[in-house]
Amino acid sequence: MVQSISILAGQNKDGNPEHFKRIDILRGEIVGVVGPTGSGKSALVEDIEQLAQSDTPTHRKILINNMIPEQDMRFNPKKKLVAQLSQNMNFIADMSVEEFLLLHSRCRNKNPNLIEKVIQHANMLTGEPIKKEMNLTVLSGGQSRSLMVADVAFISDSPVVLIDEIENAGIKKHEALQLLSGYGKIVLVVTHDPLLALLTRRRIIMENGGIKKIFDTTGEERLLCDMLYRIDKELFKVREMVRQGEEVSACFKWDGSYSNHVDFVVQN
């Protein structure tokens, strides 16, 4: 069982060494990866996905349980340790949701009864209900990503999950992260969304192709995150009401200080 992954320092785009020795990420932990476009976030994700051994442009090394991974782990698709969820994920297979989940559960030697559980939890993450008889190709982007989050949580054996800019996926982000980490996955979230970044216990700051620093989420940031999360939940409700053609009225009460609270009431 994978208990940890470790990132050993490499170099940035200029060939200068990164200013850290190693980053250890433990089972059940959520870590954010932030930085401007072109700062190296995707390269870090690729290093982890490939279990790099100083054989990528960054020269980083990735350890599993404090050990160099076996070659089979790196190059055998059946032993792949990393699952990646991106915001542009859509299905092209012409089969039903039930057929897909049944096929995947058989490939992973999992109990077929998990199918109902996967669909149930996927529907907790999206405002658009998913039915097992629906064809994969008709699922929306939000439905597809919700289904894959639940599939990774319950059926996939991949102990490491890389979530790449999923903030615009139309799903309940907080619940998705809780679901994955609650089932012992190591979760890395590449994001520009401040709420997603603050939901993590710590975040990796990228700059010029290298890891600039590792920042622990502060207590004040957690309070801010709680406030943003409440607002985000109400915005999700508003979005669903607009989609359903319902009239929306909102009442905001603001006391002038973010450190206290915002009352955001949606009425219909």
CATH (residue range 4-217): 3.40.50.300
Q: How far is CA 103 from CA 14, 173, 224, 234, in A?
A: 46, 27, 43, 37
| Cβ atoms of residues 29 and 21 within 8 Å | no
Structure tokens, 14:
């200029």
Buried b (16+ CB within 10 A) or exposed e, 237-258: ebeebeeeeeeeeeeeeeeeee
Look at residue 266 in the predicted model and tell me its pLDDT. Answer: 46
Look at residue 258 in the predicted model and tell me its pLDDT. Answer: 46
Look at residue 127 in the predicted model and tell me its pLDDT. Answer: 75
Structure tokens, 31:
């870590």
Query: Of the candidates 85, 79, 81, which has an alpha carbon nearest to the alpha carbon of residue 107?
Result: 79
Look at residue 174 in the predicted model and tell me its pLDDT. Answer: 81
Look at residue 156 in the predicted model and tell me its pLDDT. Answer: 85
Q: Which amino acid is at 254?
A: W
Strand residue runs (E) in the chain = 4-8, 22-26, 30-34, 61-64, 82-86, 160-164, 186-190, 202-207, 210-216, 249-254, 262-267
pLDDT under 70 in the chain at which residues? 86-92, 167-170, 249-268
Look at residue 238 in the predicted model and tell me its pLDDT. Answer: 82
Look at residue 259 in the predicted model and tell me its pLDDT. Answer: 45
| Cβ atoms of residues 39 and 209 within 8 Å | yes
Stretch(es) of the chain classified as CATH 3.40.50.300: 4-217
d(C-alpha 217, C-alpha 50), whole Å: 28
Per this entry, what is the length of the chain?
268
Q: Which amino acid is at 43?
A: A
Look at residue 92 in the predicted model and tell me its pLDDT. Answer: 65
